[in-house]
Structure formats: C-alpha cells, structure tokens
Structure 1
C-alpha cells in the first residue's frame, strides 16, 4: 500500500476523513487481517494511548465496510 493511501486510511480511523476508491482497492488487496493488525499495532503506540479503543474499533469497522462496499465486496465475505 502506498504512503498516500496509508495516510488516508489512518486519517479515516484515527482522525476524521474519508478513503478514496483507489485506496479502498489497496485496503481490500491487503485484506482484513492486515487492516486489523495495522489498527492494533497503531493503538500499541504510546502516542495513541488516550484514544478510546471502542471508538477506534468502530471507525476501523466502518472504514473496512465502506471500502468493501465501494469496491463491491460483501463486508461479511471479506472478514
């Protein structure tokens, strides 16, 4: 995944932003396991220790499901 898309995905989960269709395609290629690992590893960084894990988990799921929908993959089949 290219750095511009990493930034868009990060922003959509940890801040406020949207992921482009191109970046959604890159997220889907990497897969759900990689997406979840990215979120988990980021939350382990002390910089993000004050973030609500449940809020981040919800935003992560929303980002994944939005990308799955944009790309035309059923969110449940891509888990």
Structure 2
C-alpha cells in the first residue's frame, strides 16, 4: 500500500475522512485480514490508548464496507 493510501485509510478509521476509489482498490488488494491487523496494531500503540476500540472497530468496518461497495468486494459481516 502506498503511503498516501495508508494515510487516507488511517484518517478514515482513526480520524474523519473517506477513502477514494483509487485507494479502496489498494485496500482491497491487501484484504480484510490485513486491514484488521493494521487497526489492531495501531491500537496497541500507547499514543492511541485513549481511543474507544469499539468506535474504531465500527469505523474500520464502515471504511471496509464502503470500499467494498465501490470496488465490488464482499462486505464484512464480522465484528
């Protein structure tokens, strides 16, 4: 994943923003498992210890599902 894409995905999940179609394609290539691992690893960083894990999980699913609808991949039904 290119750095600009990683920043956009990060912003979408941990701040406020959306992922462009181009970067949704890169996220698709990495896959849902990698996206989930990225979120989990980021939440392990002490900088992000005060973030709500459930809120971040919800935003992560929303980002993935939005990209899924744009790029035609199966949306996640997992928590």
Measured against the shorter chain, the TM-score band is over 0.9
Whether the 8 Å CA contact 2:24–2:70 is kept in 1: the answer is yes
Give the 4+ runs in structure 1 shifted more than 3 A: none
CA distance in 1, matches of 2:37, 2:9: 13
CA distance in 2, matches of 1:74, 1:3: 25
Over residues 18-45 of structure 1, what are the superposed CA-to-partner deviations in whole Å (9 max), with x where a residue is unaligned? 0000100000000011000000000000
- The two structures, once aligned, show a CA RMSD in angstroms of 1.2
Aligned length: 77
Q: TM-score, structure 2 length as denominator? A: 0.94
More helix by share: 1
Whether the 8 Å CA contact 2:12–2:19 is kept in 1: the answer is yes
SS at match of 1:50: coil
Structure 1 residue ranges without an equivalent (≥5): none
Q: Which residue of 2 aligns with 1:66?
A: 66
Whether the 8 Å CA contact 2:42–2:48 is kept in 1: the answer is yes
Structure 2 residue ranges without an equivalent (≥5): none
| Residue 76 to residue 57, structure 1, CA distance change in 2 (3 Å) | closer
CA distance in 1, matches of 2:3, 2:18: 15
